[in-house]
Amino acid sequence: MKSLACISILLIATLLASCSRRADSVRWVNDIGEANQQADRALSEGNLVAARSILGRVAEKPLPAGIAQQDGLVVRKDACFRLAMLELQAGRPKIALEWADRGLGLDRRADLFTANLLVARATALEAQGKDAKAAGSYKRALEINEKLLKAELKKDSGRVKS
């Protein structure tokens, strides 16, 4: 009987932990989605201060246990790209470069977000007169972009054939 009671407690605790974990993940997804929409609104109104604050929170937001690490990285990299572009728009290329480098420091796999960060980095370097360094980042961005474009065209031709 004692064993049964222990197992029941363990099962209930597991179910509660599972529910809480799921609720944290749902909250994270909703918060991040909502924050990006708020940032869009702030940018469309020309409110760079509000957009900066919202996107800064997205970039710093801790990842709940139920969210895959890779998904968290994608969201953070994208927030860093957005912040870098915002700082370029605000005429602060140094800060823009910091955000781009911060995003690239998170993960450098060849995806859309890394290519975006490399573009932002190159633009920030160019704005500071560091053309040679900027060219290197543009080149790497174009390499990733070409790879992604090839994959998309391959998928497209597969769709046409079928």
Partner 1 sequence: MNNREVPEREKSEAEALASALDGDGARAVAENMPTDALEVAGLLRVSGEDAGLSDERRDAILKKVFFSTETEKRRVSWLRWLVPAGGLAAATAILALTFTAGSGPTPLPQPDKSLLETQAAVAAGNRQAVAVLQTKMRQYRREMYKTFTENYGG
List interacting residues with partner 1 (CB under 8 A).
Answer: 3-4, 7-8, 10-11, 14-15, 17-18, 21-22, 25-26, 28-30, 32-33, 36, 40, 66-71, 74, 78, 85, 112, 115-116, 118-119, 122-123, 138, 141-142, 145-146, 148-149, 151-153, 155-156
Q: What is the CA radius of gyration of the chain?
A: 21
- Select 21 or 102, whichever has its Cβ closest to partner 1: 21
The DSSP 8-state label assigned to residue 63 in this structure reads P
Q: Cα(122)–Cα(142) distance, rounded to whole angstroms?
A: 11
Q: At its nearest, how many Å lie between partner 1 and the CB of residue 17?
A: 7
Q: At its nearest, how many Å lie between partner 1 and the CB of residue 11?
A: 5
Q: Cα(125)–Cα(141) distance, rounded to whole angstroms?
A: 14
Q: At its nearest, how many Å lie between partner 1 and the CB of residue 9?
A: 10
- Select 64 or 94, whichever has its Cβ closest to partner 1: 64
CA-to-CA dists, residue 125 to 72, 95, 132, 135, angstroms: 27, 11, 9, 9
For the CA atoms of 43, 47, 51, 54, what is the dihedral angle to 10 degrees?
-130
Q: At its nearest, how many Å lie between partner 1 and the CB of residue 28?
A: 8
- Select 36 or 47, whichever has its Cβ closest to partner 1: 36
Q: Using alpha carbons, select from 99, 97, 83 the residue that is nearest to residue 36.
A: 83
